[in-house]
Chain A
C-alpha cells in the first residue's frame, strides 16, 4: 500500500505543479509495465511494486462490474451527504441529516464501512465538544466564584488599621473585625481564590486538550482515507471536520513525517483540509474523465490508448464509482489487450520470437493504435542475427570446423533459443554428418575394390563426405578426372572408328589403357575391339616396343618405321622414332 501511496503523492505533486504553472491539467501519468517506470511531464519514476499494481489492475479488469441498484444508491447517498455539508448549505439540521445518511451509506458493501468510521469520528468529536461545553459551564461558575472572592478580599483588605473604623463607613455596615480575625479571614479568602484560579486554568487546559485530541483523531482518519484513495469519503470527512471545528484555527493536516515531507516537496506547501478537498474533487473528476476517454477510445478500437487511460484512471480512482460501473465486457477487452501486451513482453524477454510475432499480429488486429515497431524491430533483428549465425554454422559444418560450428550454433541459440530452424539445421548437420560418415566408409570400400565407375556415379554423395579428408578428397578428384578422361577417350575412339580410322582410335585408347590397364571395363572393351581392327599397326608398334625394351634399337626402329608406313598419323610410331633417334644419335635434334 505504501509504495502506491507514494506513487500517488508523486501524481499529486505533478498535478499541483501543473496547476501552479497555470497550464491546463496534463494527461495523467503514463505507465510502462515493461520498464516499471511511470512518466509524467517528462519525468520518470521507477515503481518498485509494478507487479502489485499490475495484479490489482488485472484483478479489477476481471472482476464483474457493480452495476446494480446498491452501487447507484450508495453513490447517490454519498453525493447527498456532500451536498448537505457543502459550505454554502451546511447548517445544524443539514449536518444532522448528513450524519444520519452516513449510517445509511455504511450499510452498502461498496462502502467498506468507511462511512461508519467517519460517523464514529464525528460522534467522538461531538462528545469532545460536549465535554468542552460542560467545562465551559464549570469555568463560568468558577469565574463567578473568583470574582466574589476577589471582592470579599478587597473588602476585608480595605479596612485600614486594624481596630480603626474605615473612613466613610456608613451606618448599618458591619463593623470591621478585629485585626486577628481579619487576618484569618483574608487568609481563607486568598487560599480559596488561589484554588479557584487553579481550577479555572485546569478547566481551560482540559478543554484545549480534548478538542486537540478530537481534531487529531479526525485528521488521522482523513489522511488514512486519502492514502487509501477513498476520495469521496475524504470529501465527506473534511466537510464534517470543518463544520464541527469551525473555530477559525489552522486546518493543516498532519501526515507522518515521510509523507508530510513528500507532500510538501511535491506540492510546495503543507497539506491542508482545503488542498485535500480540492485535490480529491479534481482526482474524482480525472478518474471520471479517464473512464470516459477509455470508453471513447474503445469504441474507436484504439485499445492501447484505451487500456492506458483506464489504468491511469484506476491508479487514481480504484475505489471510485465511475470505475466500479465500467461494464465487464469493456474491461474484458482491455484485460485481453493488457495480458497479450504483457505476454508479448515476456515472449520478447525469453526470446520466443514466434510467439512474439503472433502476439504482435493479434495485438495489431485488436488495436489499431498498437505500436508494433519496437517489437517488430526486435523480432526481425533477432531473426536476422540468428539466421546469420545458422548460415555460418552450416559453412562451418561443411568445412569441418567443429569449433566454429559449435560457437555459431550457440550464438544462434542465444539470440533465438526457440528458433525452429535451429533444430532443423542442427539435426541436418548431424544427420548429414552421419550420412557423410557412411558415405566415407563406402568410398573407402570402393577404392579398395577399384570400383572407380561406381565412385564416379555416386560422386555427389562422396564429395561432401570427403570434404574433411584432404587425401581422400584428392583421390576422389583423381578418380573423377580419370573417368571423365576415359569417357572422352572412348567417345573419341568411337568417333574415329566410325570414320574408318581404327588405328587412330586404337592409338588414343592405347595411350589411356597404358595408364589404367584393366581398370576400366568400358575402355578395355573398346581397346580390345580396336586392337583387332588395327591389328597390323598394333603389331608393328607392339613389336617395336618389345624390341626397344630388349635393347634392339635398330630392329625396334624398323618396326616403328613399319608402323608409320601403316598409319602415317600414328603418334606412337612417331614418338617411338623420335625416341630411338635420340638414343642412336644422342646429340641429334
Chain B
C-alpha cells in the first residue's frame, strides 16, 4: 500500500516537473528565434481613441503598407493597414531600416513600440 502510495506521489511530482522541463526546453529552443511570438497584437480600436494607456508598450502588427506618408534621413513614416481591422495607422521606421525596402503593398509583420505622443515606432519587422 505504501509502495503504491509512494509511486503515485512520485508520479504527481514528476509529471509537472517533466512538463515544466518540456515547456522550458521548447521556449529555450523556439522562443529565442521568434520574438513576435511573445508580443501582443496592438488593440487598434484602443489606439485610435488615444495612446495614453498604451505608451511604452510593445505590440506586434501584421498588415500591409498602404502609403508612404513622409521620408527623411532619420526615417520613414508609412500608412499601415492592420489585418483584421479596417483602419490604417501610421508607422515610423527609423533609419536602422534603411537597408530594408518598404513600399506600398508590402505585407509585413512589425513589432512596434508606442512612443511619446502615440507614435508607433517599428522595432522589428518581418516580411510576410
Contact = CB atoms under 8 A, between A and B. Distances in A.
A274 interface: no
B49 interface: yes
Contacts of A559: 48
A552 B72 contact: no
A588 B77 contact: yes
B79 interface: yes
B41 interface: no
B70 A561 contact: no
Contact of B90 (A551, A554, A589): A554
A554 B88 contact: no
Interface in A575-589: 577, 580-582, 584-589
B90 A557 contact: yes
B75 A551 contact: no
B51 to A, nearest CB: 5
Interface string A544-581: 00010011111111110110010000000000010011
B24 interface: no
State which size class the interface on B falls in. Answer: 20 to 34
A552 B119 CA distance: 8
B16 interface: no
Contacts of A552: 50-52, 117-118
B108 interface: no
B50 A550 contact: yes
Interface in B44-77: 47-52, 69-77
Given A554-B90, A561-B90, A585 B77 contact: yes
Interface in A50-97: none
A552 B120 CA distance: 11
B110 interface: no
Interface in B70-97: 70-77, 79, 87-90, 92
Contacts of B90: 554, 557-558, 561, 580, 584
Contacts, number: 78
Of B71, B79, B88, B90, which is in contact with the most chain A CB atoms at under 10 Å from its CB? Answer: B90
Nearest to B79: A561
A170 to B, nearest CB: 192
A555 B51 CA distance: 7
B89 A584 contact: no
A585 B48 contact: no
A559 B50 CA distance: 11
Given A554-B117, A558-B87, A558-B89, A585 B47 contact: no
Contacts of A588: 70-72, 77
Contacts of A562: 48, 87-88
Contact of A547 (B50, B69, B92): B50
Contact of B88 (A565, A582, A589): A565
B47 A558 contact: yes
A554 B74 CA distance: 17
A589 B72 contact: yes
B58 to A, nearest CB: 14
Contacts of B89: 554, 557-558, 561
A582 B70 CA distance: 8
Of A550, A552, A554, A585, which is in contact with the most chain B CB atoms at under 10 Å from its CB? Answer: A554
A556 B77 CA distance: 14
B92 A555 contact: no
Given A561-B79, A561-B88, A584 B70 contact: yes
A557 B51 CA distance: 12
Given A551-B117, A561-B90, A587-B72, 18 more contacts: A547-B50, A552-B118, A554-B118, A554-B120, A555-B47, A555-B48, A555-B49, A557-B89, A558-B88, A558-B90, A559-B48, A561-B87, A562-B48, A562-B87, A584-B117, A586-B72, A588-B71, A589-B70
By Cβ-Cβ distance, the 7 closest A-B pairs, closest first, are: A554-B118, A581-B70, A588-B72, A588-B70, A553-B117, A557-B90, A587-B72
27 contacts: A547-B118, A552-B50, A552-B52, A553-B118, A553-B119, A554-B114, A554-B118, A554-B119, A555-B51, A557-B90, A558-B47, A558-B89, A561-B79, A561-B89, A562-B48, A562-B87, A584-B70, A584-B90, A584-B92, A584-B117, A584-B119, A585-B92, A587-B74, A588-B70, A588-B72, A589-B71, A589-B72
Interface of B: 47-52, 69-77, 79, 87-90, 92, 114, 117-120
